């Protein structure tokens, strides 16, 4: 996607997961990811704890850039919520270290930017 995060054309927020546990944007409540898509909660984001997630919706990608993370140099693109343009985390485009290749094509989303939306109460 070539949408600029600063463009003021608001993309349409889709809401297809309302009947399943999911993570939503903490600012505008747009659905971001199904809870089933969660790979790991033990990642580090820029602002604290981060979630590694298989796929996300209602997000747009910023410019690709090389970033040195705890696990080496990665090519990443920041991801933004289409509902409020808030920065949610980043998308792993490419990992330089072969042990980190499993992250390619996945999302690292900041824990603080997400709220869990359940039909019932879970441990958190």
Query: Minimal distance in Å, beta carbon 66 to Zn ion?
Result: 27
Q: Which residues in the chain belong to E strands, given as ranges? A: 22-25, 31-34, 38-45, 48-53, 59-69, 72-81, 87-95, 107-110, 114-117
Shorter beta-carbon distance to Zn ion: residue 17 or 95: 17
Does 24 help bind Zn ion (rule: CB under 5 A)?
no
How many angstroms separate the CA atoms of 58 and 12, rounded? 8
Between residues 74 and 113, which has the closer beta carbon with respect to Zn ion?
113
Q: Which residue in the set 11, 13, 28, 73 belongs to the binding site for Zn ion (CB under 5 A)?
A: 28
Binding positions for Zn ion, 54-83, rule CB under 5 A: 81, 83
């Amino acid at each position: 996607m070539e949408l600029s995060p600063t463009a003021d054309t608001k993309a349409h927020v889709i809401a297809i997961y309302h009947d399943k546990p999911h993570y939503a944007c903490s600012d505008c409540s747009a659905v971001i990811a199904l809870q089933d898509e969660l790979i790991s909660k033990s990642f580090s984001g820029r602002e604290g704890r981060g979630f590694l997630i298989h796929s996300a919706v209602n997000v747009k990608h910023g410019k690709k850039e090389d970033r040195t993370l705890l696990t080496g140099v990665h090519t990443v693109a920041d991801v933004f919520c289409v509902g409020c343009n808030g920065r949610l985390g980043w998308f792993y485009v490419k990992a330089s270290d072969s042990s980190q290749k499993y992250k390619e094509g996945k999302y690292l989303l900041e824990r603080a930017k997400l709220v869990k939306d359940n039909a019932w109460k879970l441990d958190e």
